[in-house]
Amino acid sequence: MGAQRYWLMKSEPTAFSIDDLIRAPNHATYWDGVRNYQARNFMRSMAVGDHVLFYHSNTDPPAVVGIAEVVTTAYPDSTQFDKKDKHYDPESKPSKPRWDMVDIRFVRKFVRPLTLDELRKEPTLKGMVLLQKGSRLSVQPVSPLEWRHIMKLAED
DNA sequence: GCCAACGTTGGC
DNA sequence: GCCAACGTTGGC
């Protein structure tokens, strides 16, 4: 199998929305706060240039709202060492950081959000990690087939 | 706001 | 190593 090139990353729009990404300097940001090992490992396997579906979670309606791209490989998430940060991890040592982040940059916003409901109706997307029962991974792989299908949906 | 599903922690 | 308790995620 070739390298994984497509991903999906979740964000609560009240915390950080795709419009926040558009407004950010260079339309880019660091993706901090991931505190799940599986999600972290996916970030560690990202390469510069990989493409990312930007997903709004915990909102009405939850939806894929656009595309970003990976602009750095994984590096230590500084918030893990910041006592005042919500994501502070007292167990993590600067000599051996536990949590990583990547930088992503805005690519485009869909003319309309592709809602979770709509995605569920697509047989091609049945296997998407996002659509699996109980799936909560905030960083997850997307297959080339799923990616292409979502790009088609986004054209309409 | 509710709560099911999941991941992590810690007592044993 | 098991598993109950707990905290979190995120759809609804």
* Secondary structure (H, E, C), chain A: CCCCCEEEEEECCCCCCHHHHHHCHHHEEECCCCCCHHHHHHHHCCCCCCEEEEEECCCCCCEEEEEEEECCCCEECHHHHCCCCCCCCCCCECCECCCEECEEEEEEEEEEEEEHHHHHCCHHHCCCHHHCCCCCCCEEECCHHHHHHHHHHHHC
The CATH number linked to A58 is 3.10.590.10
Cβ-7 Å neighbors of strand C: A 10, 12, 35, 57-60, 62, 116-117, 136-138
Q: Give per-residue pLDDT as tens, A2-24.
A: 688 999 999 999 999 999 999 99
Asked, for residue A116, whether it belongs to a domain, the answer is yes
The nucleotide minimizing the C1' distance to residue A115's CA is C11
Q: Give per-residue pLDDT as tens, A126-148.
A: 999 999 999 999 999 999 999 99
Q: How far apart are the first and last CA of chain A?
A: 31
Residue A3: per-residue pLDDT: 86
Residues 6+ apart with CB under 8 A from A30: A77, A101, A102, A103
Q: Which bases of chain C are under 7 A from a protein CB atom?
A: 8-12
Residue A84: per-residue pLDDT: 80
Asked, for residue A12, whether it belongs to a domain, the answer is yes
- Beta carbon of A90 within 7 Å of strand B? no
Residue A31: per-residue pLDDT: 96
pTM: 0.94
Asked, for residue A108, whether it belongs to a domain, the answer is yes
Asked, for residue A120, whether it belongs to a domain, the answer is yes
Asked, for residue A1, whether it belongs to a domain, the answer is no
Q: Give per-residue pLDDT as tens, A85-126.
A: 888 888 888 888 899 999 999 999 999 999 999 999 999 999
Q: How far apart are CA A109 and CA A8, in angstroms?
A: 14
Distance measured from the CA of protein residue A91 to the C1' of nucleotide C3, in angstroms:
24
Q: Which bases of chain B are under 7 A from a protein CB atom?
A: 5-9
Asked, for residue A88, whether it belongs to a domain, the answer is yes
Q: Which residue places its CA closest to the C1' of nucleotide C10?
A: A58
Q: Which residue places its CA closest to the C1' of nucleotide C11?
A: A58
Give me the domain span that covers residue A147: 6-155
Asked, for residue A106, whether it belongs to a domain, the answer is yes
Count structural domains, chain A: 1
Residue A2: per-residue pLDDT: 67
Q: Which residue places its CA closest to the C1' of nucleotide B8?
A: A36
Q: How far apart are CA A22 and CA A105, in angstroms?
A: 8
